[in-house]
Amino acid sequence: MEEYTELRRRMVVDQISSRGITNAAVLSAMTDVPREKFVNENIRRSAYTDGPLPIACGQTISQPYMVALMAELLLPLSTDVMLEVGTGSGYAAAVLSRVVKKVYTVERHPDLAEEAKKRFAALGYNNIEVHIGDGTLGWAEHAPYDGILVAAGGPRAPRPLLEQLAMGGRLVIPVGPTQMEQVLTRFIRRGEEQWDEETFGEVRFVPLIGAGGWQVQ
């Protein structure tokens, strides 16, 4: 355990704060959440490397820096209620749960969703709820959200997600014209039909599959 604690500390210093992440709550969460608990046991020693790692169902756990960057771009407050699309291993939701009041997360792969639930329970992260379904449709039952994080790249920001933002709410999502070309983008809702848009560089995520994303081939 001490070994992983030191690896986490070094990860935050070398990979995250050194690249300009300054949000104190995000840095604290990245220091606290045990990333090694969110990957398969046979690759735990690689949990703190500077890159994504494979998980089940052909998905990935994102690079630590990217998790921190997307969390910071959400402009999180401790009172916020947020939605995550693409639970995956559960790591990003776990990080967000240490920063905001409540996290709802949607995963289309039942096996991943169930494993994430088990991890959250084992770690005592009781402010996260998991839903199995099409994340491009959001989770309207609990809307509006102060922030929405999408951990997969789509051709556009799905309309249901834009509509489920509260006024002033932030949506952070990779978007691009092909599954190989994505730009990290933040939308901020300013009115019923008005969203400010800002980009933050090229990224590479697994494709966002669903009614508001790419179709399964």
- Which residues form the catalytic set? 62
List all residues 6 or more positions away from 146 whose beta carbon is below 8 Å from its beta carbon: 76, 77, 79, 80, 81, 82, 100, 166, 168, 169, 170
- Token reading at 29: 């969460």
- Token reading at 140: 């309207």
The distance of Cα 77 from the centroid of its chain, to the nearest Å, equals 16
CA distances from 65 to 69, 70, 181, 188 (A): 6, 9, 19, 22
> d(Cα 94, Cα 30) in Å, to the nearest integer?
9
